[in-house]
Structure formats: structure tokens, C-alpha cells
Amino acid sequence: MSWNKVAVVGAGMTKFGELFDKSWEHLLAEAFLEALGSVDKGMNRSDINAIYYGTTMGSLMGMELPGGNIVSTLLGLTGIPSTRIENGCPTGSDTFRNAVLAVASGVYDVALAIGAEKMRDKSTSEGLLSLASAGHPILFRGGTAPANFAPQATRHMYEFGTSKEQLAMVAVKNHHNSTFNPKAHFRFEVTIDDVLNSAPVCTPLKLLDCCPQTDGAAAVIVCRADLADRYSNKPVYAAGFGVGTDYSLWHEKESFTEFAATRKAAKQAYAMAGIGPREIDLAEVHDCFTITEILTSEDVGFCGKGEGGRFVETGKSSLTGQTPINPSGGLLSKGHPMGATGLAQLSELYWQLREEAGGRQCAIRNGFALQHNVGATGIGTSVINILTIDR
Amino acid sequence: MLRTGIVSLASYIPATRIRAAEIAKFWGGGGSGEHAVCGSDEDVVTMAVAAAEKLLQRSGIAASAIDLLCLATVSGPYAEQPASNVVALAIGAREDVLTADHGGSPRAATTALLDCLGAIESGRARLGLVICSDYRIAEPGSELERTLGAGAVALLVGQEGVSVGIEETTNVTDLFVDRWREDGGEFVKEYDPRFHRQHGFGDLVGRAVVGVCEKAKLSLGDAARVVMAQPHRGYLDCAKALKINSDQLGGTDVLKRFGDLGTASAFMALGQLEGTHADDRVILVNYGAGGADAFVLRKLKPGRLEAADETAAKYLTYDQLVKNNQLMRKEYVIPPLSVPPISPYLWRSRRELLQLVGGKCRACGTVNFPQSLRKICIKCGGVKFTEVKLSRTGKIHTFCVNHYMPDGFDVPLPFIVADMDDGSRYASLGSGVDSHAIQIGDSVRLELRKYSAERGVSTYGYKFVPDV
């Protein structure tokens, strides 16, 4: 395949947390202004040719049929092309991918990829548990978010001996990482015992095995690679991406010890970037629950099948490890405002590749970083973006 | 003897029980014995389907052979809307089956039997299915609360393979109010048990027994057994007054073990009858609120009609019963189904969800389910399918147990993915599964349960129950 290179020249995100005093619109504006302001050599708002925005909860939070103009208006960019992207939990990643495709096509020079979510305009139980009555009225009844990942944990523990302690280690690592991230929802350390003693949510997952409900927004600005020098001193580039899809009903799934969608997305992304897992310096992956990071480390090839527990246990995914995973604190500790998550992960990779990540900076050896989300109905959609910087 | 008789019988009693002594711990007073209770996702319909499926499986008769389906109940989900139609669809009866909802009192069990007799004797039908199913609720703290129980019995009625012949029948009807529940009322009520046991049940059952013996020219002492409906211990006094001795009175465990099963009581006792021989005469008498139907039956085969039920009982405490039966209500909103219960979505899915049928791709053999969502094979893209029944039994492949759910869901709530016996997989909520002991590899079975009751309409679907 051949495609026009696309550069990432700006990134920004709001603080993630329970932001009761900030509206969805306010969060989007804040993220946009930070991203715009982050461009090294400056950028005029009028340089933006198209907006892609991601938000998933729209109609669960009183925003029915959200159209593109809602966001162009609130960003002061009324008139330009604006499109809502939605693809489950990978919404933010796919928003970015669509912006990249738009610029790679040659139709637009500069595009904005932005996402936001208000998860906390409803009580925790009402918001979190509203999923229990979504989907097929019988086949998905009672299917809360943790119930979509816990069966994989049970089976992985059964087949490979992955322990609840190893699951807890993911939470310990990511909470530690977020103490270096002023934007994170949570910024406190936890111990393995803290995790194991926390309230059971959906066996084998306990409260601290689960990400919180978070409000937040993030934005990334992309442009044609041949225009990057106009804006950036150290442009980052989109190296490749992939979208994997797996069967959408639980009884159709072939394996409960991996996410087939992630494996497919990874294959596509690596092929497009012309690299393999060993070239990845660090990754931001979808740790909505501790088990998800463990499975993902196997699914994207950082370790072998069944080895995910040992991978985190032996420190390979720590900030100083072989392949740091979730230096930002991950969804577990940084938070998971669904439409923003992928874009916040991409912002983290942008800062990491440019070596601007402060106390959580990871070693950049090859100049490649991977961003991953998995989710949607039946946890059957995964989007992976690989970013790179010239070394 | 009529040509038409009872071909076979099967019952379903929920595993959940409560002892009268447990209720007395809370409310004071006394009470002996115990009774069965519907699980929180069971009801008259799910019990009826369970009994009917057991019966069809044991007797090797297909649901498509049934011409008349009578559901007898006084505690069904609707005042207007036939519960019999849900049962008919779930078991796979033909579209041209005649369904009838018999009610009014526990006497409905035998009026349903007589309905089948009439239809078959007259040649209008060849095979009838009678299902008696009840779980009545009494006011918390009342004496009735200690005895009303849950259960269902299904009978096949026909002229081929008859195992219990019908020689004579008689009916007695009088106006008598002993137990009642007004339209829209939640609780069954009774007034003055000492009075109604004697002059309601006692008198009318007595007259029916005497009457049927006269008609059959049978002396009561020559009947090998007498089987009575058991709404209360008054049936023992009635038997005594009729000089029926204790070896003659049969199936007497029903009230003690399962409670007053309403319409299901008399046939449950008949099914439990021990020690009969071929050609033994059995007098069966059913009763409900001023009406009694008596039969002289002849056992054509020796032994019990149904093997004893071996299901391990699960005993509730009273507070568990309160929660199970929603006797105390919080101000909460049970999350509605994702589509309204009367949505065309559920109507489109009625067969696939109630019968568990899928489409086997003719090109690659993959079973696609549900077919209303799968018009193109998920594996090969094929568009031609053959209808197949999904397997109902399997072993747990993986699971999780939810401890944090919205109100209205039973916590802890297991969600199970099972490897089914036909090589496919199925995923569903669990019901009556021990959430603390559940393991990969456990045997499970899909059974019909009530998923929701909103806007007064009940929605049914399958859940995994332990397969012992």
C-alpha cells in the first residue's frame, strides 16, 4: 500500500476526573485550546480544515443525534466540515485514524481529532449500570462493563495460571505511574493487598481492578507531513494503524483468553508501519480492567500467549522496563472518558516520543510507540495506532 | 371405562423451600412442614414449561402431536392475556393447537382434565396436554403464608398408551367461599379455617367421593387408594370421616413437603402414589372453593406414575423470602429491558428466544443465532439456512459473578458461557447457581425463566441452571 504521510503537530487534554462543574462543551473547548496552544511554532485556528470528534455516551446523557455542527460551533469554527465518530471504547483512536485518513487523502491539509465524555452527569451506579439493560434485551441482559471482561480473566486464570496477584500488579504499576501525571484522575499509590482487599465487583475483578468513571477531553492536531515543519520543531508521524473486528455476540466468540479484534488490529498496524512488536518503545493500551492489559500485552505481541501475568510481574512493562505499558497511569488510574481516551493515549505517546513526559518519561530507542483500545459490543472492535518520530 | 385416560405424568417443583418454623421465627406462632417457593425469576409459566418439557421428554412424544393444551392456574401473570400461549410456543406446539386457560379455583385442574376428556372422547382431538401450575402468595404474617406452595404437574391425556384409565366421574358444585383473591388483588385470603375445612372441603369432597362410588357401583372399601387434593390438613379429617384408613389414603406427602400447590395438588399426589398394582381402582378427588370433581380411576400399570424427585432443596430464611418475593419494596427503578416488552423486536424474536432455534448454514454448517439478527452466515457469508434446535445442556467454559448490579437484579449474579453438547457455545445469566462454588467444567442446562415484568407484561427467556 502507499499513502501520504501525516504528522502530529499538537496535543492537549484536560485534567481527567469527576468534573461536575465542567460541561462536555467546556471540556472540548479546553482540550482544543491546549492542543492549539501546544503547536511549537503556533497555528491559527483558521488553519484547521476539518474536525473529527468522538463521543460515545451521547444518547445516554441527553445528547440525542449529536451532529458535527455541535462541536464546530462550540470551538468557534462554525462552517468547516465536522463529523462525529463513534466506535465503542475505541472511539478516540478511530477519531484520530479518520483524521489521519482525511489528511492522507490529500483533501484536507490540517485536521483536528478531538474527543470528550461526561460520564459523571449521572450517578456512578446509574451511569455504570445502565449498560446492564443495553443491547439485546435477553442475550445482553445484565451485561455490565466488568461482566464483559471478567469471563476472560476467569478463563485465562484457569488455562494459564494467571493469578489475582498478577492482575493486581497491573493496578499497582499504573497507579504508581499516574503519580507522575498531573492530568490523571487518580494520583495515589496502591499495594497488591489494597487491590485484593477492595470490594468484589465482578469476580475475579475487585474494585481496584476496574477503571473509574471519568470526565475529560483530549485533542490532537494532524497535518500533511510536508507541512509539518511550518508548525513543529519535532513532528511525530502516524506510522500505521489497524482496526480489527471480532464476532459481536458472546456465543459466537472463539476464544476467551484473547481479544481477536486486538490481534487483527495489531497485525494490520504493524504491517502498515513495517515493524514488529520488538520495535515498540512504549505503549498506551486499553486497561479498562487489569485483565485487559494482561491480555493486550499478549495480543499485540509484547509477550507470548499466556505470558501476560509474568510480563507485568517481572517488571517488563514498568516505566523502566523492556516495554513500558501505560506510563500515563492508564485507564485504571488516569481515567476513561470514553470518547477522549484514545486521544489522551495518543497525546501521551506524542509527549513521550518528543521526550516531554517529565517524571514518567520512558526510554525512546527505536522511535515507535503503540496506542490501543478494544471494546464495543461483544468487545469485538479494536483500533491501534502506531506513532513514530524521526531518530 | 372410557377409552380416554391419562397416558403419563410429570411434575416440576422448584428447589427453593422454606420451613413453616422459619416463618414462625419471624412472626411467632406455630406451623409444621415446609413448602416450595418459586425462585425470583420463576413463575407459573416457567414452572408449567418445565413440567411439560419433562413430560414430553420422558414419554417420547413430540409437542407437535398435541391437539389441546389446557393450562390450569389461579396465580398466572395475567387477568387478560393467555399464559397458555407462551407455554404453547415455548414447548413447540403446532400453530393450530387449541389452547385454553382454566382458572377460577384449584378445581381448574380437573375441569381442564374433563375438557380434554370431552374433546378426545368426542373425536375432536387425539392428544391433550393438561398443565396445572400455581404459586399463590398470602399476606405476610398470615397463617396461609406458611402453607401456600409452588409447583406444576403436566399430564398427557389420550387413547393410546393409557396408563391410568378413567371409569367414572362426578362433579359437585355449591357456593362456598373459603379461599379467594379478588381481581387485581395480590394475596389469597381465607376466613375461619375450622369452618371451611369442615363445611367447604369436608362436605363437598365427601359428597363427591360418595357420589362417584355410587355411580361406579364401587364400595369405597374396594378402592385400593383414595387420592385427594391437599389444600390443608382438613383433608385428613375428611378422609377419617369417610372412614378411609391410612393405608388407603395415598400420595400424602404433598402438603407436608411442598405445601398447598393449588391446581397442582391433586395430580401431584396422584403422581406420588406408591404400591399400586395393575387393575387397582384409585379414587381421585380434586377441590376448589365450593366445587369438587371425583374420579374412579383404574391403574393399568403397577407402580408410581412418576419417580420421586431427587432435587436438593435450598432452604430460605424469612428475610430471603421477603426479598425473593419482593414483599418489601424499595423505591427503586428496575432497569427496563432495552426494548419495551411489547416491542416488535421481541415479537420478531419470539420463536428463537422461546424455543432456542437457530439457523444452520447450508454452505458451511455454522449455526447462526439468533436468526432474526443473522441473515448472512457470520463465518462464510452464506444466505441459506436450515432451522435447528440449539442444545440445552453443556459444561461451563468460563463465567463471572456480578456483585454490583442495579436494583432489581439478583446479586450475586452469575454470567456463564458454556460449551454445549452439540459443539456450539451459549452465553447467558445463571439462575439457582451457587455463586460461591461455581467452576469451569460444571454441568449446566438451559431452562425457561422470567426475565422481566414491566408494564404488566412478562418476558421469558433461557438461563443456565445447574444440571444434576
* pLDDT per residue as tens digits for the range B224-263: 999 999 999 999 999 999 999 889 999 998 999 999 999 9
Q: Which of B339, B403, B459 sits opposite A201 (nearest CB)?
A: B403
**Contact (CB<8Å) B404/A201:** yes
Q: At which residue does the C-alpha cell 393447537 appear?
A: B97
pLDDT at A142 over 90: no
Give the neighbor-by-neighbor strand order of the sheet with B291-299: B98-102, B68-72, B127-135, B150-158, B5-12, B164-173, B291-299, B281-288, B225-228
Residue A132, pLDDT score: 73
B451 and A203 within 8 Å at the Cβ level: the answer is: no
- Half-sphere exposure at residue A103, Cβ-oriented, CA atoms within 13 angstroms: 31
- pLDDT tens-digit readout, B47-62: 999 999 999 999 999 9
Closest partner residue to A132 among B399, B400, B405, by Cβ? B405
By a Cβ cutoff of 8 Å, what residues of chain B touch chain A?
Answer: 335-339, 345-346, 349, 353, 369-370, 373, 378, 397-406, 409, 413, 415, 417, 424-429, 440, 451, 459, 461
- Residue A210 bears catalytic tag: no
DSSP B239-260: HHHTT--TTTB--TTHHHHH-B
| Max Cα-Cα span within chain B | 74
Mean pLDDT confidence for A312-338 = 98
pLDDT digits (tens, 9 = 90+) for B373-400: 999 999 999 999 999 999 999 999 999 9
Is the CB of residue A328 less than 8 Å from the CB of residue A214?
no
Closest approach of B44 to chain A, Cα-based (Å): 20
With a cut of 90, say whether residue A124 has pLDDT above it. no
Beta-bridged to residue B296, according to DSSP, are: B168, B283
Q: Residues 6 or more apart from B78 whose CB is under 8 A from it?
A: B456
Compute the average pLDDT of residues A127-138: 78
pLDDT given at position B332:
62
Nearest by CB: A202 against B335, B398, B403: B403
Q: What angle do CA B321, B326, B331 make, to 5 degrees?
A: 140
Using a CB-CB cut-off of 8 Å, the residues of chain A touching B354 are none
Contact criterion met (CB < 8 Å) for B397 and A203? no
What's the confidence (pLDDT) of residue A64? 74
Q: What is the Cα–Cα distance from B193 to A113, expressed in whole angstroms? A: 76
Beta bridge partners of A220: A11, A113
Q: What percent of chain A has pLDDT over 70?
A: 98
Spatial separation of the C-alpha atoms in residues B407 and B205, rounded to whole Å: 46
Give the pLDDT of residue B370: 96
Per-residue pLDDT reduced to its tens digit, B56-99:
999 999 999 999 999 999 999 999 999 999 999 999 999 999 99
Burial zone of A127 (CB within 10 Å; 0-12 exposed, 13-18 middle, 19+ buried): middle
> What is the length of chain A?
391
N- to C-terminal Cα separation, chain A: 24
**Phi and psi, residue A330, nearest 5°:** 65, 180
All three cell numbers of A201, joined, read 465487583
* Residue A132 contacts B where some CB pair is shorter than 8 Å: yes
Mean pLDDT for chain B overall: 95
Q: What is the mean pLDDT of chain A?
A: 95
Distance CA B400, CA B416 (A): 7
Using alpha carbons only, how large is chain B's radius of gyration in Å?
Answer: 23
- What was the pLDDT predicted at B94? 97
Any chain B CB within 8 A of the CB of A250?
A: yes
Contact at CB, B400 and A203, closer than 8 angstroms = yes
Contact (Cβ atoms closer than 8 angstroms) between residue B260 and residue B269 = no
Distance CA A83, CA A94 (A): 12
Beta-bridge mates of residue B368: B359
The reply to whether residue B406 touches residue A155, judged by beta carbons under 8 angstroms, is no
- pLDDT higher than 90, residue A127: no
Q: pLDDT band at residue A368, thresholds of 50, 70 and 90?
A: very high
Please give the single-letter amino acid code of residue B150: A
| Mean pLDDT, rounded, for B273-283 | 95
**Neighboring chain A residues of B424 at a CB cutoff of 8 Å:** 251
Q: A–B: how many Cβ contacts below 8 A?
A: 111
Residue A260 phi/psi, 5° resolution?
-55, -35
Chain B touched by A159 (CB under 8 Å): no
Q: Residue B468 pLDDT more than 90?
A: no
B338 → closest Cβ in A126, A135, A252: A135
pLDDT of A60 > 70? The answer is no
Check A141 against B429: CB less than 8 A apart.
yes
Cis preceding linkage at B193, omega within 30 = no
Please count the residues of chain B. 468
Q: Do A132 and B428 touch (CB under 8 A)?
A: no
A chain contacts of residue B427, beta-carbon cutoff 8 Å: 139, 249-251
Nearest by CB: A147 against B336, B339, B402:
B402
Hey, are the CB atoms on A141 and B337 less than 8 Å from each other?
A: yes
What is residue B64's DSSP assignment? G
pLDDT exceeding 90 applies to what percent of chain B?
88
Please say whether the beta carbons of B298 and B280 come within 8 A. Answer: yes
Q: How close, in Å, is residue B346 to chain A by CA atoms?
A: 8
Of residues B176, B204, B175, B210, the one with CA closest to residue B190: B176
Contact check, Cβ <8 Å, A134/B451: no
The number of C-alpha atoms within 13 Å of A86 and in the hemisphere containing its C-beta is: 12
Q: Do B429 and A135 touch (CB under 8 A)?
A: no
- Give the DSSP H or E segment for A271: helix A260-273
How far, in whole angstroms, is CA A44 from its chain's centroid? 27
A61 pLDDT tier (thresholds 50, 70, 90): low
User: Using H for helix, E for strand and C for coil, what is the string for A163-210?
Assistant: CHHHHHHHHHHHHHHHCCCCCCCCCCCCCHHHHHCCCEEEECEEHHHE
What is the nearest CA distance from A332 to chain B, expressed in angstroms?
18
A253 has a pLDDT exceeding 90: yes
Phi, psi of A237 (to 5 degrees): -125, 150
Distance of CA A251 to the CA centre of its chain: 27
| The predicted structure's pLDDT at residue B336 | 85
pLDDT tens by residue, B406-464: 877 888 999 999 999 999 999 999 999 999 999 999 999 999 999 998 888 999 999 99
Q: Which of A89, A223, A288, A303 is catalytic?
A: A89
pTM, 2 dp:
0.89
pLDDT at position A116, please? 96
Comparison of pLDDT for B30 and A261, the residue scoring more = A261
Question: How confident is the model at residue A59, as a pLDDT?
Answer: 62
Instruction: Point out the least confidently predicted range of B9-13, B222-226, B337-341.
Output: B337-341
**pLDDT attached to residue A138:** 93
Backbone angles phi, psi at B419, to 5 degrees: -85, 115
Q: Which of B400, B409, B419 to probe by mutation at the A interface, max A CB count within 10 Å?
A: B400
Contact B87, B73 (CB under 8 A): no
Catalytic residue among A185, A336, A362, A372: A336
With a CB cutoff of 8 Å and minimum separation 6, the contacts of B82 are: B71, B99, B101
pLDDT at A143: 87
Q: Per the structure block, which three cell numbers stand in for B55?
A: 413430560
Pick from A126, A136, A154: CB nearest B399: A154
Q: Do B429 and A146 touch (CB under 8 A)?
A: no
Percent of chain B with pLDDT over 70: 99
| Cell of residue A196, nine digits | 485484593
pLDDT band, very low/low/confident/very high, at A134 (cuts 50, 70, 90): confident
Does A204 sit behind a cis peptide bond, omega within 30 degrees of 0 on the bond before it?
Answer: yes
Q: Lowest mean pLDDT: which of A242-256, B30-44, B325-339, B411-425?
A: B325-339
Lowest mean pLDDT among A280-289, B286-295, B310-319: B310-319
Give CA–CA dist A57/A375, Å, rounded. 14
Name the DSSP class of B188: B
Classified as helix, coil or strand, A364 is: coil
Q: Report the distance separating Cα B263 and Cα B229, nearest Å.
A: 9
User: Which residue of A139, A142, A155 is in closest CB contact with B413?
Assistant: A142
Extended strands (E) in B13-149: 16-19, 34-36, 68-72, 98-102, 127-135
User: Does A89 qualify as catalytic in the annotation?
Assistant: yes
Nearest chain B residue to A126 by CA distance is B406
pLDDT at position B30 over 90: no
Look at residue A69 and tell me whether its pLDDT is greater than 70: yes
CB A299 within 8 A of CB A270: no
pLDDT band at A328 (very low <50, low <70, confident <90, very high): very high
Residue B333, pLDDT score: 66
State the pLDDT at residue A78.
95
Query: Which residues in chain A touch residue B451, judged by CB atoms under 8 angstroms apart?
Result: 137-138, 141
